[in-house]
Amino acid sequence: MKSNMADMVFEGLLRIADDNLILGHRTSEWCGHAPTLEEDLALPNIALDLIGHAQTLYCLACEINSRYKNEDQLAFLRLEHEYKNLLLVEQENGDFGNTVLRLFYFSTFMKYFWERVKIECCFTKLKEFSEKAFLETSYHSRYASQWVVTLGDGTDESNLKMSNAIANLEPFLGELFNNDDFTEMCSQNDFLPEPTSIFDSWKNEVKAILQKGNLDFPDIILKKRGGRKGEHSEAFGYLLSDLQYMQRAYPNSSW
Amino acid sequence: MARKQNEKIVSLEEFQEKIDRDEKIEPKDSMPEAYRKTLIRQIGQHAHSEVVGMLPEGNWITRAPTLRRKLSLLAKVQDEAGHGLYLYCAAETLGKSRMEMNQELLSGKAKYSSIFNYPTPTWADIGAIGWLVDGAAIMNQIPLCRCSYGPYARAMIRICKEESFHQRQGYEIMLTLAKGTKAQKEMAQRALNRWWWPSVMMFGPSDADSPNTENSVKWKIKRYTNDELRQKFVDAIVPQAEKIGLTVPDKDLKWDKKRNNGQGGYAYGEINWDEFWRVVRGDGPMNNERISAKQKAWNEGSWVRAAAHAHALKKQTALQAAE
């Protein structure tokens, strides 16, 4: 792989891996605290998938960039500005409705993303991985969509809470679909699809589900952004303090 | 529980004969009320323990030291939620609803294993729980795979498979720490010091003070007494600790060739039963925190459950209208 191609693949893998790791981290915070025992089982299960995706992607990234010796160095030992995840995934969970709505937005996006990677990606190892990732994110999207409908349609209180969640997450959706020079380069090289190219499929599905839950589709304009450049929100520092605690407190140890 | 009219009521003697023939008792079979009650209590406590047990370990998911460890811990805690569900279902076959059992847990009426009232301040506690607590649980649970009550015995077969995997995982965490840096080894030793005695206590009061044991053994709910199981546990764990260079915190621990009918076993020191009863009665290091966490989750989730209920009703009504 030529060095500029390698840089592109590395950065692209990091973006997706960081999204998955950080949302997996947030999702795992629910463990033992969910509204029902079934959800106490489902949410850690989804976190397991998301963090598992991150692990595979970091391993692929390490194969490309010899500066990093293993996946843990990428996951645990970078500085805040070196993480490239979306602001959407690092926000605190909020209530259960906010959590499932964010999961629905993200996993529906990723479902279409992986579907395109399956067909178009020039990087064989990622293309192979996308088969499994597509199936798992499709399941996450379905799980979350059922809750969005249930909570939207359920009671006046739950409908109000879901409307609040829509308003709360709205400023972060623009970044999900934001093309930049990097995403254009990835697309021109048949590596990753451009986020805007997924927008229509995503919008149709999200709109239909929100409608079933008597909820309004939000405006999607670029408001809060910065995650892709390593500019994160306040909440992210606390998340990293938990995530990195052991590796920082006991450096150079095997676990 | 209401009985069907044609259900055959068996006498206590007939019931005992059936047990003695090693026949399984199934949900619709007639059974003495005391047998039913004992099982509901035991399976309920077991289910609650799985669910409360998610808390001390779940604590460390966001702080696990590597991705591999994080993933195995997530999988483990998820297994525990699964065991909880499975066991609540087994208890429901005896006529008590999950909702009722949950209310008893939240109100403090129902007990769960006292071991989960101890804290997990370090990563090594995750290793110690897997190794010792799951280890003790397996000692208790393997004989339950042959328990006279069919649904419980069948649930235990699957649960034991997963628990023994957890135990190996926990021991492997401890082994890695014991082989690691000085700080890691000290962390492992401190965790063993914290968890040893509470784990030895997990088998419950000594046989002389265990009023439920006699009936349970007679009915083949229990196959071994508390003290027999405790001895098996100590005999299994002591060599494992030695192998990885950790010290069991009991100065009276020594090989006694008279134990286990002359086959030899470890003699161990005096158990602090005051501590055991104190924690059972609610005054352990984490009793309030555990129950408060479960109450908080339940209360904060009430709007979600109400919405799910309302949505299901609407769907049902729409379906009926369409017919």
The answer to whether residue A97 neighbours chain B at the CB level (below 8 Å) is yes
Quickly state the pLDDT bin for B7 (edges 50, 70, 90).
low
How far, in whole angstroms, is CA B6 from its chain's centroid?
A: 37
Query: Mean pLDDT in chain B?
Result: 94
Q: Quick check: helix, strand or coil at residue A161?
A: helix
For chain A, give every domain's residue range: 3-249
Minimum distance, in Å, between the CA of residue B169 and any CA atom of chain A = 12
pLDDT exceeds cutoff 70 at B54: yes
C-beta atoms of A28 and B61 within 8 A: yes
The answer to whether residue B58 neighbours chain A at the CB level (below 8 Å) is yes
Cβ atoms of residues B307 and A150 within 8 Å:
yes
pLDDT per residue over B158-183, tens digit each?
999 999 999 999 999 999 999 999 99
Query: CB under 8 Å to A241, separation ≥6 — which residues?
Result: none
Q: What pLDDT was estimated at residue B201?
A: 97
Quickly state the pLDDT bin for A115 (edges 50, 70, 90).
very high
Cβ atoms of residues B73 and B133 within 8 Å:
no
C-beta atoms of A246 and B88 within 8 A: no
pLDDT exceeds cutoff 80 at B72: yes
Q: Which two tokens stand for residue A82?
A: 């070196």
Q: What is the mean pLDDT of residues B133-152?
A: 94
Cβ atoms of residues A224 and A87 within 8 Å:
yes
Place of tokens 């968890």: B195
Minimum distance, in Å, between the CA of residue B127 and any CA atom of chain A = 11
Q: What is the largest CA-CA distance in chain B?
A: 76
pLDDT exceeds cutoff 50 at A42: yes
pLDDT per residue over A133-178, tens digit each?
999 999 999 999 999 999 999 999 999 999 999 999 999 999 999 9
Q: Quick check: helix, strand or coil at residue B323?
A: coil
pLDDT exceeds cutoff 70 at A85: yes
pLDDT exceeds cutoff 70 at B2: no
| Selected residues 17-36 of chain A with any CB under 8 Å from a CB in chain B | 25, 28-29, 31-36
The answer to whether residue A72 neighbours chain B at the CB level (below 8 Å) is yes
Q: Choose from A28, A45, A49, A76 for mutation: most chain B CBs within 10 A.
A: A28
Q: Is A183 exposed, middle or buried (0-12, 13-18, 19+ CB in 10 A)?
A: buried
Q: Choose from B52, B71, B72, B74 for mutation: most chain A CBs within 10 A.
A: B74
Q: Which two tokens stand for residue A155?
A: 């009671």
Cβ atoms of residues B66 and A253 within 8 Å:
no
Tell me the residue length of chain A: 255
pLDDT per residue over A116-129, tens digit each?
999 999 999 999 99
pLDDT exceeds cutoff 90 at A4: no
pLDDT per residue over A230-241, tens digit each?
999 999 999 999
Query: Mean pLDDT in chain A?
Result: 97
Place of tokens 């229990």: B222
Q: What pLDDT was estimated at residue B6?
A: 44
Quickly state the pLDDT bin for B208 (edges 50, 70, 90).
confident
Q: Is A167 exposed, middle or buried (0-12, 13-18, 19+ CB in 10 A)?
A: exposed
Going by C-alpha positions, the residue among A154, A98, A95, A24 that lies closest to residue B301 is: A95
Query: CB under 8 Å to A117, separation ≥6 — which residues?
Result: A126, A127, A130, A133, A134, A192, A193
Q: What is the largest CA-CA distance in chain A?
A: 57
Give me the residue from B54, B64, B304 closest to A151, CB to CB. Answer: B304
Q: What pLDDT was estimated at residue A14?
A: 98
Tell me which architecture the domain covering A3-249 has in CATH: Up-down Bundle (1.20)
Question: What is the value of ipTM here, to two decimals?
Answer: 0.97
| DSSP sequence for B148-206 | SBHHHHHHHHHHHHHHHHHHHHHHHHHHHHHTS-HHHHHHHHHHHHHHHHHHHHTT-S-
Q: What is the mean pLDDT of residues B228-243?
A: 97
pLDDT exceeds cutoff 60 at B142: yes
% of chain B at pLDDT higher than 70: 98
Please state, as a whole number, how many other Cβ atoms lie within 10 Å of the Cβ of residue B208. Answer: 8
Strand segments, DSSP code E, in B165-312 are 254-256, 265-267
Cβ atoms of residues A255 and B169 within 8 Å:
no
pTM of the predicted structure, to 2 decimals: 0.95
Q: What pLDDT was estimated at residue A170?
A: 97
